[in-house]
Structure formats: structure tokens, C-alpha cells
Chains A and B, each alone.
Chain A
Amino acid sequence: DAKTTQPTSMDCAEGRAANLPCNHSTISGNEYVYWYRQIHSQGPQYIIHGLKNNETNEMASLIITEDRKSSTLILPHATLRDTAVYYCIVRTHSGGGADGLTFGKGTHLIIQP
């Protein structure tokens, strides 16, 4: 799986949009971009994933650049409960999906009141 690079930490004011970048310059054509987050002392939580088109769900939006070498996760109206470590993971859907996730160090997002 391709390697990802994320900033170690970021701050965002409550109520503002949080934009979390991820670089994945070695991504292959069949690799998807997944985002998970882990709130302190909880298990990771799936947020969103995409291949090349932008995606939106009730939690967030995912913007993938045209060359697919980077992406941005957008939390439109951040709340204190969004304080967490956010992991950007690149993976294929081969093997029937039953392969493990390789977590990088992630971005510690801190929402400031």
C-alpha cells in the first residue's frame, strides 16, 4: 500500500471548517483513500473513502486532487467532539477487502473553543 504523509497536529476553532491534508504521491490507480479518526481512549471510527471523485457524507467531505497525489478531509463545522487523531490510509480493494489497515501517525486535530 502507498505511504501517506500528514501533519503531526493542527488546531481549528470551534464552528469553523477543519481541513486536514494528506499526501499520497505514490498512490496506484487501484488504491482508494480512506479516512478514519480515533477519539481518545476509543476505537478508530471510519469517516469516508474515495477513489478519484470527491465524496461527501454526513460526517465529512473528501477532496482528491486530479492527479490523486493528495487529498483533503473537510469537517464543515468542527465541534469540540471532533478533537481526535485523524488517519489517512491508502489501500486497495483486492483480497475481497479482508486485509488489514496500515495506520500512519495521523494528524492530531484539536478543536479550540
Chain B
Amino acid sequence: DTEVTQTPKHLVMGMTNKKSLKCEQHMGHRAMYWYKQKAKKPPELMFVYSYEKLSINESVPSRFSPECPNSSLLNLHLHALQPEDSALYLCASSHSSRVGSYEQYFGPGTRLTVT
């Protein structure tokens, strides 16, 4: 199974809402990632978790709150977002500390619209 699943596929939320994005993988990967992709732009790294610990935060605003409850799950909690946060949110996973096998597997993304 080389699949990364993300739910929901689409999400529309108001600026005062609280919502969560979910990502799941069962490949035994111990590194998981959140990327943000605006229209017609390349993906940009937001967070990296390694062995369920946050290892990289690319200066993301606190209205985005990541969580890694276990080695298979990654959540992104959203609160008080702005319309400019509308984007495709991509989750990825990869092996960690396994020489020569660092390719990342991406999910299909959640398309978020903030109204």
C-alpha cells in the first residue's frame, strides 16, 4: 500500500470556523509533511514531523496548528483563517533514517476555500 489519504477532499469554511484536515498513511513512514499550494504556484513546505515530533515549522501563522497523534496520522487544525489561506493543502510521508529511500509520497490534497 503506497497510498496517502486525505480528508476531506474539499472544504469551505468561514473565517470564524474551526476545522481540521486529516492525513493517513500505512506505509510505516516516520516522517510526515504538510505543504500548501496556491493556484498556479509550486507547493510550499509548512510543517515536518519526524517520529511524531514537530521538527520543522516554516514560520507558519498560529492559525494553523499541526498534530501527529500517532505514526500513521497527521492532522492540521484550522482556526480563524483568512481568505488568502484558500489553497490546496497537501500531505506527504516518507521513510526517515533509511539510506537511499527518501522519496516522499503525496496525498491528493484538500482544496480549502475560506469565505
Contacts and interface: CB of A to CB of B under 8 A. Distances in A.
B60 to A, nearest CB: 12
Contact of B44 (A42, A46, A93, A103): A103
Interface string B23-54: 00000001101010000001111001010000
B45 A101 contact: yes
A43 B48 contact: no
Given A43-B90, A43-B92, A44-B106, A99 B43 contact: no
A45 to B, nearest CB: 7
Interface string A90-113: 010100111111111110000000
Contacts of A100: 33, 35, 45, 48, 56, 58
B84 interface: no
Given A96-B50, A97-B102, A98-B96, 6 more contacts: A43-B106, A44-B106, A93-B99, A93-B100, A97-B96, A106-B42
Interface of A: 34, 36, 38, 42-46, 49, 85, 87, 91, 93, 96-106
27 contacts: A34-B103, A42-B108, A42-B109, A43-B4, A43-B92, A43-B106, A44-B90, A44-B104, A44-B106, A46-B104, A46-B105, A85-B42, A93-B99, A93-B100, A96-B31, A96-B50, A96-B96, A96-B97, A97-B31, A97-B94, A98-B31, A98-B48, A100-B45, A100-B56, A103-B43, A104-B42, A106-B42
Interface of B: 4, 30-31, 33, 35, 42-45, 48, 50, 55-56, 58, 90, 92, 94-109
